Amino acid sequence: MKIVGIIAEYNPFHNGHQYHIDQALQKTGADAAVVLMSGDFVQRGAPAIAPKHLRAKAALLGGASLILELPVLFSCGSAELFARGAVSIFNSLGCISYLCFGSECGDIKKLNRLARILSEEPEVYRQLLQDELRKGRPFPQARQTALSVYTKDPSLAEILSSPNNTLGIEYLKALRYFKSPIQPFAIPRKGSGYNDTDLCETFSSATAIRNRILNPSLPEDAFSSVAGQLPPASSDLLRKNYQSSLPVTQDDFSLLLKYRLLCESASSLTDYLDVSKDLANRIINQRNDFATWSSFCDLLKTRELTYTRISRALLHILLGIEKDTFRHEPPFCFAEDSGNISGKAKKERSSTSALYARVLGFQKKDTQILKEIKEYATIPLITKLADVRDLTSATQVLLNLDIFASDLYESIITEKFSTPFTNEHQKQLQII
């Protein structure tokens, strides 16, 4: 059975995502698509607009066979951490043949060339990068300039200016890092750019769609203007759950975040992932002017500190994700047995990482995929939290972070929409 892996956020699931799944299956000739999807928090350092189980259902109705959750440590991490965590999980499943990602460039050879340079970091390139950083340039700009000089090909370096290209290169770097046999495919992106805020005819960005849902001219018009941008099943799901479990925004978490910031000092803030000494001092100095999460990000940002980087750091503070959370056993360690693994995988494997594959939903007709994962995976497959046993301490920490993050997200839904609280252990798999 040939399986293509897709890494996604589906925030929300739109026409471009439907196109991606269709193209991934067609271009690779795969029998099924397994999606590793961000949970309730996403890579730009914000909550997803809709709960993960609802987004998972939309993807299943859109043709995905199985949806796994990308742990929150990776889903709200830097592009490198996001990609490395996701690829590590796919690589550990032992049955993923292909990795298919969207890209503005769509040229896998060019993307691979850049990935090789950035992975190997030749001395000449490294020196050029340091020279640019010493000039005070932001890292992305410094890296692009250094690559332009090193390759003597500005058009090649220009590829890094597009976000999907950048993330695709990180996937390729991760495949190299793990010496993975998974074959990568790049699908050219259609329609609007990743950060475009204006709707286009059929392939608008998730950013534009979210903005229109969050800022309708009239409450009853929240979905009328984006109906053509979403597959019918996704549109119906969002419409039916509007004002009962969505939309959720980062500003819904403002009071919780302010409380966490009031509990911290400049010194303690630097314990959190992605919080530098400079950012910690800025947070403390501006803390009295905190109004909302989004306005605080605007207040803190500088040329070197982007809105997204700040928002991601604030999310780590809110969720309690520290730099040394995995000091003794990092997520990509190679420890001995981690439990919850049996069969051929247990006999053949020589190492494992502090990871797991948690199922959010699947299609009934594709249960063979679950059987293959159970047979070949070198990490635990989790379908029900109550049945989890004998995880390593690091794996349990990673899972506990997911549970806490989702319970926090659910608490906001409960408060905002006056609905009953459903904890993470009570939530049902999406099976269609």
Binding-site residue numbers are 7-20, 102, 164, 189
**Using an 8 Å Cβ cutoff, are 280 and 317 in contact?**
no
Task: Count Cβ atoms within 10 A of the Cβ of residue 15 and give its class: 0-12 exposed, 13-18 middle, 19 or more buried.
Answer: buried
The CA-atom distances, in angstroms, between 282 and each of 245, 276, 291, 349, 421 are 34, 10, 15, 47, 36
Q: Which residue ranges make up the annotated binding site for ATP?
A: 7-20, 102, 164, 189
If one counts every other C-beta atom within 10 angstroms of the C-beta of residue 145, the result is 18
The length of the chain, given as a count of residues: 432
Q: What distance in Å separates the CA atoms of residue 197 and residue 189, rounded to the nearest whole number?
A: 16
Contacts of 153 by beta carbon, 8 Å cutoff, 6+ apart: none
DSSP codes of every residue in 257-287 = HHHHHHT--HHHHTTBTT--HHHHHHHHHHG
Nearest Cα neighbor of 300 from 252, 248, 249, 257 is 257
Nearest CA among 139, 147, 99 for reference residue 119: 147
Nearest to 302 by CA among 281, 317, 272, 323: 281
- Write the DSSP symbol of residue 47: E
Q: Categorise residue 172: left if φ over 0, alpha if ψ from -120 to 50, beta otherwise.
A: alpha
Instruction: Name residues whose C-beta falls within 8 Å of residue 239's C-beta, 6 or more positions apart in sequence.
Output: 223
Name the nearest CA neighbour of 365 among 58, 91, 33, 94: 33
Task: Report the alpha-carbon distance of residue 400 to residue 299 in Å, rounded.
Answer: 32
